[in-house]
Amino acid sequence: MAGTRRDRRRGNGLVLSRHKLKLFILFVVVIASLIFINNYLRRSAKEPIEPDHKGQQSPDFQGGQNNEQQQLEYPVNVGGGLDQNVGELSYSDDNNEVDDVVHGQDQEKEKENSREDTEGMQGIGNTGEDGKTHEAGSLQQNIETNGKSQDGKLTENSNTAMEEDREQHHDEEDENVNGVKEKQDGKETSKEGEEDKINTVDEDQTGDASKNEVNKDAEDNNKIQDQTNENKIGNAEDNLKTIQEVDKLENENKETVNAGDDEQEKKQLNGKPVIDDIQVKVQGSEEQKGQDNTVGTAAEDKTNEENLAGIQKGQNTEKQIDGINDVNKHILVVPQTSKEELKDVDQDQKDNPGGNVSPEEEKSQLEPVQDDNMIDKAAEGHNDPNELEREKEVIGMKSTEDLTNQQEENNNDLEVIQGKDDAAEQDKTNTGNDGNKELIGETGMQPVETNQVDEEHKMTDTHDVLENKGVENNVLGDNNDSEIKTDGKEELTGEGNLGNTQEKQSQEQAQVAGNSRDNLDIGGETGKDSIEAKLQGSQCVIPELSSRFDCHPEESPTQEVCEHRGCCWNPLESVHPSRNRPPDCYYPTNFPSYSGTEETYTEYGYQVNLERNTATHYGNDIMQLQMDVAMETNSRLHIKIFDPKNRRYEVPLYTPSVTHKSTSQSYTREVGKSPFSIRVKRAVTEKVLFDTSISTFIFSDQFIQISTALPSNFLYGLGENLSPLLLDLNWTNKTLWARDITPKLNRNLYGAHPFYMVMEGDGNAHGVLLFNSNAMDVIMQPMPALTYRTIGGILDFYMFLGPSPNEVIQQYTEVIGRPFMPPYWSLGFHICRYGYNSLEKTREVVEQTRAAGIPQDVQWNDIDSLDRFMDFTYDPKSYSHLPEFVDELHKNDQKYIVVFDPAISSNQPKGTYPPLDELLSDDSMIIKNVSGGLLIAQVWPEETVFPDFTNPKTMTWWTDQILRFHEKIPFDGAWNDMNEPSSFVHGSFSGCPDDNKYENPPYLPGVSGGSLINQTICMSARHKWNPHYDVHNLYGVSQSMATYGALLKLGKRPFVLSRSTFPSSGKYAAHWTGDIISTWEHMYYTIPSILNFNMFGIPMVGADICGFYGNTTEQLCQRWHQLGAFYPFSRNHNFFKANDQHPTVFSEAMQNSTKKALMTRYSLLPYLYTLFYKAHTDGTPVVRPLFFEYPKDVETYAIDKQFLWGEALMITPVLQEDAVTVDAYFPDGAWYDYHTGAKVHTGKVKLDAPLDTINLHIRGGHIIPEQVPAMTTQASRNNIFGLIVAMSYAATADGCVFLDDGETVDSIDKKLYTMITFNVSDTGISSTVLHHGYPGTESLVLDYIRVLGVAGKPHIVETNGHPLNHSYDEATQVLYITEMALPMHKPFEIKVAFS
């Protein structure tokens, strides 16, 4: 029909010949047959495809199109997949190789269930057999509606079964570990964002056969279409000539089917498979509510759509032929091809533009044209705006002549649509909290009241208003949208100017402002139609590759998509394809951005309003923003950019606020108005620290991007991940998203810390925190620069000007909270193992360690001690006498720690598990699915629910459970594991809603597993604070708050260990580096990890000594115990399938060296405890990189195989197998061997490293307190004190010691402590008691002093006229003073005189 309409418009009066009429009838019959076959294949489909959680978002994936779209299900003939039934669950392991079937059921039964689901699926949601949504009620009801398979069967829940499952899970884990051990050189690389694999079960043959059958139908259909095209060629020669003159017309829905490419990987993400070379992308979020809307193969639906396009054109009808609507919700994206292949494709387009579409139809098709006076217009006679969407996606191109004829008419349409857009803008609803932050109890949590989205009644927030408008108004916005408002000159408010780069960009912006239509083909306001630039050469000429900023961060960019975004395409053919390379698609210098108003001054700083006139390709841009700048202190600047009209989600953790600006600042700031940018300088040096003018700024609903230049290449922080301390700026990405996974180089791990520090190259340092908890990528490039990409929240920057590294961390922890003060006993040695499996084995380890003379303070048990892995229980058989065992530990001055995973077993009969009964009594304490029912996931106790720790009621319930369990087992500390939160089913048992915007954001950060829900719960899950999408990264810290608050009720200083962390976690919990592997490489990586967490404000951090996974060797474990003795948190812990690795299982020589290292630790505990006091009171790190103390020594900037305790003690471990020497670097100054007291040379030195010794060195100018060690910290605390005095070259030294009872809560605030300082002067050594509030100090005595670096033998050593015993070692120049017996609580002065 397209041809007749076109000819009627031309007035040719074309009449089809009889021959052509026959062909046309044949064509219609074939099409009808294909539709019938397509529907038949759908009805006969046996299994829907389960989300693979592996595929990446497509380059132009547009989230949030329409929240009312029906669920898309894919029949089995599309490809393999895993049924979403409860009956088959997979646990995807960290290295993407573990895929255990936790609940295996008969395959035939599964296929029968799937067939029933395909014929009439009730939707992904919390539904029962009646198809209705069930709210939380009785235990049985909750289990029926949330925790069962679709055939209504629940699996048996037994401890034995779960042990077998866990063994299966870790069998392949061991294989993975062995693979890692074979590559200990550390040069193994992995594709960023490595994806978890979900196995398909017995579907390959069925899927392949069905797919081949459909492909054959598609080929037959193409042949018929080709014949039709051939008959119409004669009438289209003039059209073809016109089309050839168009300069590389973009085809939004171009597809290339390469039947011979069997190696093309079939990716799937949330149920959207890739079929051969065609990647199917769903437009927008797709929450399903029990509606059946299946889609066949993309090739089949595409053919149907093309052949029926003419029938659909010009009609305003809601009834669509089956399959057409579904295809309209997809984009078919051509994979990236070589330049030669592109040439062939271009030639094919010239020979037959539009593929199977005839040239006559081709000319009538709608296509954006890059022409000075052309804007893409809606087709004539289309009253249904949805048909405009379909026409652009289905049809190929439209001639310049036709577009010109329609321009005037559609300009009128644009005015009407613009009015609708303005009305929609006013209807935006509030989706965030109500603003005011207030503390909850003692923990510092704040409620966030939001207009929670009721998915059951459809979403009506800003996103959805714009989203629906984008579907209806698939035409271009008003011409003014393309203009960039400017006065022709770039003026800066504030001091200075933005430099040559900013001026150049501003000039280019000004040049295009007057006639921006010449350069830009602009999409609608929602960004559904991306900016399309007719780029001038100068705008894409970026002299330095390092200065390109990626415009297509999704995988596999193409020139077509790149230029459709209005960006520059210049591929680097000589560079091997890799993510570590400059981008092929990058932003031009004139890419539209925000413009800013004049500054409005406020009491705390100033305010700037921002506005943009052009939408971006990610959609739902927030066109008006506000920037508040608060000059909070002399060294702290707070910059906040947010939506002033609609409250958006903000991190609901406490931070200090100010009401007025500081009287002086160590920084200056400059604001660029058009385009908007902000620059921050250090006032003294005028060095630029933060500069956003280098690239474009985007702020849309679910994609926020901002870049900044860096003053140097010395960048640190941005965790949690496994990496060297000094970050690699060679096009690397740090993804911040909490994930249960075995650590591997540069993958996102258990916590998220969007904080970085930069050494500026001149000794100064600064830090930046982006206080945002949404999933985030931070991309680093060698310019040097970095780019933030986050998918929610706001931009909330804190900048800390230092200028020293230690001061930066002090200022940072002033905002996020100072670290908790640990109990003294927690500084001792800990032993744990997953897999003791009995109390007898646990007791045996403790007794063997004690008999070997190896100090131990704490014994732990993992989940194998629990009754069926359930919290607040212990195994009544294997651990029946656990209470008595804990009492035995206490009698020996030892402690016991239990594990509390957050997941609570949900399938226990009512009345048998009180924690569950009490939790269900008020289901507001439980995380809900989007429908309001309980979200059922799976962790170790099988079916589980997750407490919502953002609800104060939940914190009360959690406290009650802990206190009640403490009455049974008098434990001393708590271990929060699996709290990312981790789930062995992706999302939930009932899946996640596909049409929800939180499940399908337009941009997917580089998360492990390729999906946000991989190994965790649904993003749409409901917390009291906000959807899980926003607060996922906060789950660990929220549990830490609850656990810390509960332990406070016991009356002693809490100790909590948490795997998942976020800024402020250090206020409540310690951390360990997770499930590392027993390799030399992983032992090394624990050092930068521990240094990073000290920068993150969590100084109580350690790693599993000897590794968690895999079998260690004696030498590795020996060296690791030496290193681990100097972790702030020192614990040996490993996996049940690995060999025992506690010290006493090895040789006597190994046991002796471990004892030596740990006894040294126990000797130095007074010094370590004093460092924790300083961290708690002023935020100074406990463990530090060398550059923290030597910021002007560039040699120290990359050192991460040595580290410092505080200012004074350097640790240099052996990190290579069979090594008996170790390379070390000593900065300028005096350094002494801890063991011998001998002075060492500065610079690069090779040290002897015998197998039984770790190298320790003391820095001159410092005094370190120590104590004679014993088997426990409590026994050590009663022993005599000593001092190690390390003289500087100027013959000076000082130090201090903090003393209290080690367990009283708030002993510092209550003044129940003693603080003593020590000093060396010309006359001798003296002490000063600054405060004496700890009575126990009166029983402590100072008995000996070692003075290092004494040039000669002294003539007099006395105190108060009484001579003291002393000796002098001339070889090492060490003075020993002994048998002093001086009371610690009284000041003393020791006179040392030389003849």
Q: Please, what's the b/e burial string for 113-131 (b: 16 or more CB within 10 A of its CB; e: otherwise)?
A: bbbebbeebbbbbbbbeee
| Euclidean distance between CA atoms 632 and 656, whole angstroms | 9
Cα 879 to chain centroid, rounded: 38
| Euclidean distance between CA atoms 1120 and 1112, whole angstroms | 10
Q: 1008, 748 in Cβ contact below 8 A?
A: yes
| Euclidean distance between CA atoms 109 and 529, whole angstroms | 46
| Euclidean distance between CA atoms 235 and 897, whole angstroms | 84
Q: Is 1340 left (phi over 0), alpha (psi -120 to 50) or beta?
A: beta
Write the single-letter amino acid at 1377: I
Q: 962, 1047 in Cβ contact below 8 A?
A: yes
Q: 867, 162 in Cβ contact below 8 A?
A: no
Beta bridge partners of 1247: 1222
Place of tokens 């009544």: 876
| Euclidean distance between CA atoms 1031 and 1046, whole angstroms | 22
| Euclidean distance between CA atoms 1286 and 1256, whole angstroms | 13
Q: How many CB atoms lie within 10 A of CB 351?
A: 9
Q: How many CB atoms lie within 10 A of CB 18?
A: 7
| Euclidean distance between CA atoms 944 and 985, whole angstroms | 11
Write the single-letter amino acid at 750: Y
List of residues 6+ apart from 449 with CB closer than 8 A: 433, 434
Q: How many CB atoms lie within 10 A of CB 442?
A: 10
Q: 845, 836 in Cβ contact below 8 A?
A: yes
Strands of 904-905's sheet in order across: 904-905, 942-945, 937-939
DSSP state of 1055: -
CA end-to-end distance (rounded Å), the chain: 115
Write the single-letter amino acid at 655: T
| Euclidean distance between CA atoms 398 and 402, whole angstroms | 7
The first and second tokens of residue 250, run together, are: 């973009």
Alpha helices for 544-639 (secondary structure H): 559-564
Phi, psi (5° rounding) for residue 1240?
A: -120, 160
Write the single-letter amino acid at 814: E
For residue 832, give the 3-state DSSP assignment.
coil
Write out the catalytic residue numbers. Answer: 977, 980
Strands of 1070-1072's sheet in order across: 1101-1102, 1070-1072, 1056-1058, 973-976, 895-899, 858-860, 829-831, 1130-1132, 1104-1105
Can you give the length of the chain in residues? Answer: 1395
Cα 1276 to chain centroid, rounded: 42
| Euclidean distance between CA atoms 545 and 541, whole angstroms | 10
Q: 1087, 1203 in Cβ contact below 8 A?
A: yes
| Euclidean distance between CA atoms 154 and 166, whole angstroms | 19
| Euclidean distance between CA atoms 1032 and 212, whole angstroms | 42
Element holding 215 (H helix, E strand)? helix 204-232
Write the single-letter amino acid at 169: H
Element holding 413 (H helix, E strand)? helix 400-426
Q: 971, 937 in Cβ contact below 8 A?
A: no
